Structure 1
Amino acid sequence: MDSSMPKQKMAVRSISESVYVGMCLKIGTPQQVASRRDIVDLSEMLIDSEVMRKTYITMLSGSTREGFRLRESDRDTMYWLNNHRVIWDFSQVQFYNTQENAVILCDSSESPPGFTLLWLPLERANSKVISACVRMHDGLYISSSKYRQVTSSFSSGSTIHGPCSSGLREGVLEYDHAYCFVSDSWPPSASSWIDRCQLSPPPHVVNDIVRNGCHFVAIGHKLGYHTDNEWRVSFSQAEYKFVCSMNHTQFLTYGLLKLFLKEIINKGLRDEDKLLCSYHMKTTVFWAIQQNTQPHWRPQNILGGFWVCFKLLLKWVYEGVCPNFFIPENNMFLSNIYGEAQKTLFTRLYRLYKTGITLLLHSPSISSYITNALCNPRLTIYTDELNLISEVKRDIDIFREIDANDATGKLDIHICEKYLHAVEQLLSLPLTQYHIVMLQKLTANIFQGFAFILHSMCSYTGSNKQLYIVDKLSCHMLKLTAKFGYVSDFLYIAMYYYKTFRYREALSVIDLTKVKLARPYLMFDSHVDGERYTETVGGQSLSTKMRQAVAQDIGLNNGVFYINELMQEQQCSEQCSEQNSWPVLYIPPLILLHMLDFLCLRYVDTIRAQRALNDLQALVHHDQGLLVHVRLRDISWEILGICQQITGNLQAALYSYQHSLRQYPFHKIQTATLQRIQDLHV
């Protein structure tokens, strides 16, 4: 018996390391998770910087913010009014200018732990807030249920789900928008949490969490006296900071629990029968880390960490008590896990518990890694970053993340100026390589928008001298973006030259861009020759790779008009942007290149112009999703139709417009397409 113990320990260690590797491939390596967080952080730092002084501050929260990119991870965003602050007692009024800020006072006297009423003592606030108020206790209180109704209208087509407005953006991305309020102060009811933080998280993280206060989301306790009017104290920002302080094994244990919940506990259950949620899993990890139940969180014992959390969860279900991590008096099982439902859930979990760690063989995501370790006990498993994922795959993940977070919203001249001032401030901060490359992309967006806005402002009102100065400045900004932006960003210069009637200069840029986009090592979305990419730019900085070897779809901000031929589509898309459409028109780079080539050559060489149109037609008709993403086929067919209509080939144009209408309406340009069809018959 004794002699077999070392072998058993080695086997368990081998399985744990194999599971760790599998989770890294499923969830992300340390570098991948760090890059995702940094890119989102930088984007928010720029968009919500103080110089922007926006009405609403936004913060991505939940799994996506924490660094998960699971298929089922929705995009949770919190919004709060920039000039409204919640205080815990009247003494805190002194910290605010009540002429500029609406002060809201907590009244927790009749609410369960973790919930409160929000009282407007001065009865002065945003009109939307006032419209959501009710009279109680001789005062004006903000009703959570009314506020949900008021703010749900901000997202057309959404439904109310808990404290959020939920829906699908473009039918592909599930979102939850929570309109809430913020407090700069830490809740008195959570003061005991500070005292518990002896071992975890580190003191600097605790101080940062406490200094940033909390939020209030629009949902009351189901068993409270004021369910429709109460607000729940939210520690979303604190939770994110705690998750970031975890080591990677702890983070992957959290991910493993999420998969355990989805693929095993809740498998086959109807939504109404799913009593446990991802937040319960997160809470078990938090408590397990802080209580030091598992002293060493390393790849070799990730299964041990998982088992500690599972046993804690089982104990909570047995007792019917799940203590909130920040306010333990708030039992998160109180309203739904009790009686027969509690017994059924415990029986289900205990049956899994008796199975032992082999219960994870029922998880499709990681079962193969366990089986692999069991069948190959002498297999050497490498858990270091370099052996887990190639440089090419890591770069694909990073540039995809940049692409998903590079929207700056609607631009005008004043917003561009504020953005550039914010960029200047950010450059003085300590930035990671992921911060820097994200800042590069956002700055390129701002310069591109700025250049076209300046030109449009001076085209009709400025003198020749003003036009010359503006043109020189615009060209300079666009050339700068080409120096530190993507390879495909050269097309913005071509668009500008075309817009200003410099067709030969535009063609020169187009020819150069053709060469750059034809490079055998070019990365476009996830398409790349990994061997050539590594040979050419392997080991170089992300900034260098972006400039020399990466192309992305061209984004036309709908608040800026780039070329007249697409103005109709941009206006149509902009009108629909309030209905959850993207505020940007995305065009595949080769589609735009062939379009600009055709438009310019009409004035220079009609034979070559026809060849450019033929190239565009061949790409639109025959691409299999390699160079034209499925979601961008609506605008691609539209562009082909526009070019065919310009040549007078109305039958071909009609065919293209009709095909545009049959595509998935990603850009919401159907009204523009129908108008173009109507114009064909005039």
Structure 2
Amino acid sequence: MQSMTTKKHESLNFYNYLCQKIGSEEVVKVRRLALVINDIGQKTNRITSGSKGEGLDLKGSDIDVMTIDCNIEVIESEKDFNIKHQRLSFVINTEDTQPCFTQLYLVTHHHNLILNFVDPLGLLNLLEMKHLRYVLSSEQYKQWCISHHFSSNLPFKLHGPCISSKDGQYDFASCLKCETWICQAKPWISRPRTAWPSPELISKITSCGVLFVPIGCKGSINENIEWRISFSVAEKILIFSFSHTQLLCYAMLKILLKELVDRNEDLKGLLCSYYIKTLMFWISEETDPYLWRPDNIIPCFMACLKRLLYCVRYSILSHYFIPENNFFLLRFNTNNKEKLITILTSCYRQGIDCFAFSETLQDYRIQSNGSTESLVSRNSRLLQQMIPTFCTVRLMLRADRVLGLLFTFLHSSRTGLSRVLFALLISEASLAVADTHLYPNVLGNKHYYFKYMHCLSHLTIGLDIDALSGLLKLASFLYVHKNYEVSLTIIKYILQKCTDKKIYRSFIYQDKYFNPIQKHVPNLMKKENLKTIMKSLIIHSFKFERDSFIIPQELQLDVSGRSNYFHSLPFTHFLNFLCYYHLHDISSYAQSLQQLEHVQHRLLSCILDVPYPEALNTVICCGIARQLIGDPFIARQYFEVAAGLDEYNRTSAASRLFNLI
């Protein structure tokens, strides 16, 4: 009896430790909600998946963004064809493909219309002829997506069916959708299981249909015209249904894979996160849900690890929805299989002590000591783990999303947490709206006055996004309209708010540790809600939209044809300089320039190894200021520094340098 109590106590300690290291239920909920809300009301039908979409933010976690192509539909039978949809329709054909893959044949009806089909996007060029029928090429479709959706000056790489950012943080995939649950996966609906997933969950999943991503079966003679059947939507729903204990076990297996197995070069990539997810689905389906409890997390994890070891030893891991596809068939050779078994066996014998050799969980024995997360540290910990997700969401916001967000907020937001996140994102989207409307500066014009007030109303809504971003855009808007004195009043207030208590978060670098003051202040606000804390403490770098009409005229070149990011503090000093410059207050603009250059030097010294847009734009602002006061020599030096660090020529530095000649 004592032994069982001791084991439960150790499991609870470990569970609480994992909640602090990987994320509590509340933190996971915030991460998920932020990304789900971000998908709502998008111009395109988009699904955010990947580890972060599932609520995990482990080292190396990426964001998978799947965009459903609304120009093409996939049907299972030509009997399902509906000419009213006015889209190119393709029918599934799995006769010559491996399980989980298909070819997509153009619906016969289209053959009579293909010469007259209005095709402004050039989709007909992606067709190939096979067996006297047109088939959609997955390889050509992927190349088409690159040419239509990615700027030529943005670095990317191909990763399976995805187009990945160079830093590996984002995977983008354009996919096709079949609205019905396909025949190959129908046995999954009624196969024997314990209690998970529930009939309600199964019904919800099957109503979502399936997706098709542009990649064929490796080694197939028809690889370039095959498409992989994707159950990403179903898998996301299943992960969301996990208890927190299940999710933590899933996270531990991912950590074990990335930090213990993959450190062996000859094993790296042999197993992948998708295999871990599949394994968790099978175990969850066969297990009593009652067992997934915090006081039983260690036995649960050990059972998962034992199952993984079994699957590797016998080379069997079936696809969860289409079991005919065995992921481990011919996956291993004799050498790597034995080495993998040895490592997994060693981990199993060590139990959770195997994580002493991992980067993420190595301090368990030191940090746990039976302690639980204190109430006092809750806000600080929540901010530290939640803000990177919120920053990621802000990167993907669009100006045309206000109505979509507002509609869902009014009709579907049922919890206080979701209402807070909706409000924050509506504020951010409102700032983008104000940034993308033309306001002709013609005094005395009623139309101008209406537009002016329309912009001002959106900027007012945007004040709630954080401590400074909304205020800065408002000050910039007033500067553009030559209300220099009012702009200076706001700038003075902004500079008073820029203290060490504020928590600055960059869009690009999201792993900054809080300083002691930043850790302490949220504790003093433990009774405040998330929105109040964000508005009081957080300073984001902020974005001006492409061809912005509220950015200072001196920076128009920097948003010509693209959006751009600025660090809040140096931008405030630059705006301060511009206002005093136009008011011909020499001593004040000289002091503002001195402060700007001081901040620039401090900022640039921190990021010389990996420069990012906010820092480079700060250098450019210094150059512009020097140019305005008639000091072209120092201005040139600033532009040369920025141009030298601008690897992909994404700033105005080179252009400004050329214009100084």
TM-score bucket of the superposed structures, by smaller chain: 0.7 to 0.9
Contact 1:105 1:118 in 2 (8 A): yes
2: CA distance between counterparts of 1:34 and 1:267?
31
Q: 2:423 aligns with which of 440, 446, 452?
A: 440
| Number of the residue aligned with 1:114 | 100
Secondary structure, counterpart of 2:486 in structure 1: helix
Name the CA shift for 1:186/1:239 in 2 (closer, same or farther; >3 Å): same
| Number of the residue aligned with 2:406 | 423
Contact 1:597 1:612 in 2 (8 A): yes
1: CA distance between counterparts of 2:367 and 2:493?
50
Contact 1:200 1:290 in 2 (8 A): yes
Whether 1:679 aligns to 2:645 is no
Aligned residues: 636
1: CA distance between counterparts of 2:412 and 2:260?
44
Q: Give, in angstroms, the shift of residue 406 of structure 1.
A: 1.3
1:32-73 Cα offsets, whole Å, 9 max, x none, are: 1111110011111032xxxx3x4xx33222112111212211
Name the CA shift for 1:184/1:110 in 2 (closer, same or farther; >3 Å): same
Q: 1:653 aligns with which of 635, 653, 658?
A: 635
1:183-216 Cα offsets, whole Å, 9 max, x none, are: 1111221122222465112333222211111111
Name the CA shift for 1:419/1:260 in 2 (closer, same or farther; >3 Å): same
Whether 1:98 aligns to 2:85 is yes
Q: 2:529 aligns with which of 518, 528, 541?
A: 541
Q: Give, in angstroms, the shift of residue 288 of structure 1.
A: 0.8
Q: 2:224 aligns with which of 228, 236, 243?
A: 228
Whether 1:451 aligns to 2:451 is no
Quick one: which amino acid aligns to residue 565 of structure 1?
A: E
Q: What pairs up with 1:270-419 in 2 under 5 angstroms?
A: 270=266, 274-292=269-287, 295-337=290-332, 342=337, 345-346=340-341, 348-350=343-345, 352-353=347-348, 358-370=353-365, 379-382=369-372, 386=374, 390-407=378-395, 411=399, 416=400, 419=402
Contact 1:489 1:554 in 2 (8 A): no
| Number of the residue aligned with 2:456 | 475
Contact 2:424 2:531 in 1 (8 A): no
Q: 1:132 aligns with which of 123, 126, 135?
A: 126
1: CA distance between counterparts of 2:206 and 2:305?
29
Contact 2:17 2:364 in 1 (8 A): yes
Q: Give, in angstroms, the shift of residue 166 of structure 1.
A: 3.0
Please provide the CA RMSD for this pair: 3.0
Contact 1:59 1:78 in 2 (8 A): yes
Secondary structure, counterpart of 2:620 in structure 1: helix
Quick one: which amino acid aligns to residue 204 of structure 2?
A: D
1: CA distance between counterparts of 2:543 and 2:457?
20
Contact 2:13 2:370 in 1 (8 A): no
| Number of the residue aligned with 1:579 | none
2: CA distance between counterparts of 1:224 and 1:630?
43
2: CA distance between counterparts of 1:67 and 1:325?
21
1: CA distance between counterparts of 2:557 and 2:422?
31
1: CA distance between counterparts of 2:351 and 2:397?
51
Secondary structure, counterpart of 2:48 in structure 1: strand
Whether 1:74 aligns to 2:53 is no
2: CA distance between counterparts of 1:365 and 1:422?
36
1:389-428 Cα offsets, whole Å, 9 max, x none, are: 53112123323322221135665xxxx4x64355234322
Q: 2:472 aligns with which of 482, 486, 491?
A: 491
Taking structure 2 as the reference length, the TM-score comes to 0.88
1: CA distance between counterparts of 2:370 and 2:85?
65
Whether 1:176 aligns to 2:171 is yes
For structure 2, the 5+ residue unaligned runs are 506-511
| Number of the residue aligned with 1:636 | 618
| Number of the residue aligned with 1:580 | none
1: CA distance between counterparts of 2:498 and 2:316?
59
Q: What pairs up with 1:27-106 in 2 under 5 angstroms?
A: 27-47=22-42, 52=43, 54=44, 57-94=45-82, 97-99=84-86, 101-106=87-92
Whether 1:161 aligns to 2:159 is yes
1:57-96 Cα offsets, whole Å, 9 max, x none, are: 33222112111212211232222211322111233224x7
Taking structure 1 as the reference length, the TM-score comes to 0.85
Contact 1:588 1:627 in 2 (8 A): no
2: CA distance between counterparts of 1:97 and 1:79?
23
1: CA distance between counterparts of 2:23 and 2:46?
25
| Number of the residue aligned with 2:210 | 214
2: CA distance between counterparts of 1:293 and 1:421?
40
Name the CA shift for 1:616/1:279 in 2 (closer, same or farther; >3 Å): same
Name the CA shift for 1:302/1:348 in 2 (closer, same or farther; >3 Å): same
Quick one: which amino acid aligns to residue 624 of structure 2?
A: I
2: CA distance between counterparts of 1:299 and 1:158?
41
2: CA distance between counterparts of 1:34 and 1:58?
20
| Number of the residue aligned with 2:598 | 618
1: CA distance between counterparts of 2:395 and 2:256?
34
Contact 2:356 2:364 in 1 (8 A): no
| Number of the residue aligned with 1:569 | 558
Secondary structure, counterpart of 1:602 in structure 2: helix
Q: Give, in angstroms, the shift of residue 308 of structure 1.
A: 1.4
Quick one: which amino acid aligns to residue 159 of structure 1?
A: K
Secondary structure, counterpart of 1:112 in structure 2: coil
2: CA distance between counterparts of 1:299 and 1:371?
20
Contact 1:521 1:536 in 2 (8 A): no
Contact 2:398 2:429 in 1 (8 A): no
Quick one: which amino acid aligns to residue 98 of structure 1?
A: H
2: CA distance between counterparts of 1:18 and 1:103?
55
| Number of the residue aligned with 2:485 | 504
Secondary structure, counterpart of 1:78 in structure 2: strand
Name the CA shift for 1:559/1:91 in 2 (closer, same or farther; >3 Å): farther
Quick one: which amino acid aligns to residue 164 of structure 2?
A: S
Contact 1:159 1:165 in 2 (8 A): yes
Whether 1:185 aligns to 2:180 is yes
Q: Give, in angstroms, the shift of residue 336 of structure 1.
A: 2.1
Name the CA shift for 1:280/1:472 in 2 (closer, same or farther; >3 Å): closer
1: CA distance between counterparts of 2:351 and 2:71?
53
2: CA distance between counterparts of 1:627 and 1:433?
38
Quick one: which amino acid aligns to residue 162 of structure 1?
A: G
Name the CA shift for 1:667/1:387 in 2 (closer, same or farther; >3 Å): farther
Q: Give, in angstroms, the shift of residue 233 of structure 1.
A: 0.9
Secondary structure, counterpart of 1:105 in structure 2: strand
Quick one: which amino acid aligns to residue 60 of structure 1?
A: T
For structure 1, the 5+ residue unaligned runs are 1-5, 374-378, 575-582
2: CA distance between counterparts of 1:627 and 1:117?
48
1: CA distance between counterparts of 2:366 and 2:452?
65
Name the CA shift for 1:484/1:145 in 2 (closer, same or farther; >3 Å): closer
2: CA distance between counterparts of 1:620 and 1:443?
32
Secondary structure, counterpart of 2:363 in structure 1: helix
| Number of the residue aligned with 2:508 | none
2: CA distance between counterparts of 1:363 and 1:409?
35
Name the CA shift for 1:440/1:584 in 2 (closer, same or farther; >3 Å): farther
2: CA distance between counterparts of 1:453 and 1:263?
45
| Number of the residue aligned with 1:578 | none
Whether 1:251 aligns to 2:263 is no
Secondary structure, counterpart of 1:251 in structure 2: helix
